Amino acid sequence: MNEATVTDALRVGFTGYYGMRNFGDDLFGVLCTTAARLYWGAEPTLVGPALADLDGESTWPQRLPLDLYGATGAAGKCSRLLSFIRGVHGNDVLVMGGGSVITARESFRKPLMLWAKRRRSLQLAAVGVSIGPFADRADEAVVAEYARHFSYLSVRDRRSYELALSLGLERVTHHGRDLAGLLSLVVPTGSARAGMIADHGRPLRIGIAPCRYTPRPDHPAPTMDAWQDAMIDALAAIAPRAPLQVEVFSLNGHPHHGDQALAEDIQSRLRARGMDAELRLYRGHDPLAVVRDICRCDAFISARLHGAIVAYLCGVPFTIIDYHPKCRDFADDIGLPASLRVGGTLRGSDELASAITTMLNDPGARPALSPSVYAQQAQDIFQCAPWFSGFERTMLNGTVP
């Protein structure tokens, strides 16, 4: 590649909650940079710390500690602000990549993005995101005004798409999928499962991904204690009949907001009931290692949305704890059976025992939408954007320019 080609390449920065030791958000960063280079011919930059397998640059100097970037208080906020400013000034396009980021929540990102659009003609976009939910009409109006400055907005669920249309954003909005649907670009998820030789002599590997949350007044959900108590009782009842190896995943490793203490408590309680339970802690930096660990499970119970999505894409039977609208949105979009959703009507351990038995013994209890179709549709997130090159577009459509 000659110097002119490098200089002329589209420079794209991706911003999100990267570098905060949350598995799902860091996975977005790896997938966004890979897809931008593949589909847009871009030179991508991650606004935040570097990640393993990152196909691009990052704005956080590697010599500085990751703990500083993710810290609470003034030091952490200043670190993230300086990193974001580098992303704003060094790129042609700034993309909000993944997550529940189109909200009315106050952030230093919004005014800086709008300033850069006015002064530097920086193009703005968002891919694989959710919109809302909003407290009232005033919040909707604030977000609508902000999002009208975007050149492209790819949302990951039907509820967000319909909300975007109601906000008058139809000109730039694309009904896409979650960015995790692009996993096959970096990890052979299908072959990882297909290549596993069944060993009927080994214990069944059950993955669990808890999440610290408080039930929302607008979304009925079981309390954390309710579903965890029911799950532990269900596993204890099943274990004498089918030896289990339980792996408890902490998918958010943030020291203040993460799930490690919760995962350790579940592990301790499982062991106290005589079960083999191990921890899988995400500490930041390498989200693809977690993907591989999830792929090795025989069944997965997840309150973390991206624990459930990755299990789905890997072909691992899963049950989702429906504690938030984003969980319901994903379950609805893929047609997840009601028997594999745990919601606000939870009535003791029988429901969890039934879900676990269904995952392990009923091949027909699967989402209506196959993971391979979801993954194929996820490519549209980048292929429908205005920066998808004409040559690549015609080649993928089967024609020669």
Class (C level, CATH) for 3-185+375-396? alpha beta
Closest-CA residue to 61 (of 44, 83, 78, 45): 83
Q: Give me the residue label for tokens 């959710």.
A: 130
d(CA 92, CA 177): 24
Are 211 and 254 spatial neighbours (Cβ–Cβ below 8 Å)? no
Q: Which CATH architecture has domain 189-369?
A: 3-Layer(aba) Sandwich (3.40)
Structure tokens at 342: 């745990």
Cα-based distances in Å from 44 to 38, 54, 140, 346, 390:
10, 10, 31, 44, 19
pLDDT of residue 117: 94
Q: Are strands 43-46 and 11-15 parallel, antiparallel or unpaired?
A: parallel
Is the model's pLDDT at 166 over the cut of 90?
yes
Report pLDDT digits (tens) over 105-143: 888 889 999 999 999 899 999 999 999 888 899 999 999
d(CA 154, CA 311): 23
pLDDT of residue 396: 46
Contacts 24+ apart (CB under 8 A), 368-375: 368/334, 368/335, 369/333, 369/334, 369/335, 371/189, 371/190, 371/312, 371/313, 371/314, 371/315, 372/190, 374/177, 374/181, 374/312, 374/313, 374/334, 375/181, 375/182, 375/183, 375/184, 375/189, 375/313
Report pLDDT digits (tens) over 52-95: 999 999 999 988 888 899 888 899 999 999 999 999 988 999 99
User: Using 50, 70 and 90 to split pLDDT, how confident is the model at 397?
Assistant: very low
Coil/strand/helix, residue 303: coil
Can you give the residue ranges of every domain in the chain?
3-185+375-396, 189-369
Q: What's the pTM value of the predicted model, to 2 decimals?
A: 0.92
3-185+375-396 and 189-369, same CATH topology: yes
pLDDT of residue 390: 53
Is the model's pLDDT at 208 over the cut of 60?
yes
pLDDT of residue 62: 84
User: Using 50, 70 and 90 to split pLDDT, how confident is the model at 165?
Assistant: very high
pLDDT of residue 179: 98
- Average model confidence (pLDDT) across the chain: 90
Is the model's pLDDT at 189 over the cut of 80?
no
Report pLDDT digits (tens) over 24-37: 999 999 999 999 99
Is the model's pLDDT at 191 over the cut of 50?
no
Structure tokens at 247: 């792996």
Are 339 and 365 spatial neighbours (Cβ–Cβ below 8 Å)? yes
Pairwise pLDDT comparison (175 vs 398), residue with the higher score: 175
Report pLDDT digits (tens) over 298-310: 999 999 999 999 9
pLDDT of residue 7: 52
Please report, rounded to a whole number, the percentage of residues in the chain having pLDDT higher than 70. 92
d(CA 324, CA 375): 23
Is the model's pLDDT at 393 over the cut of 50?
no
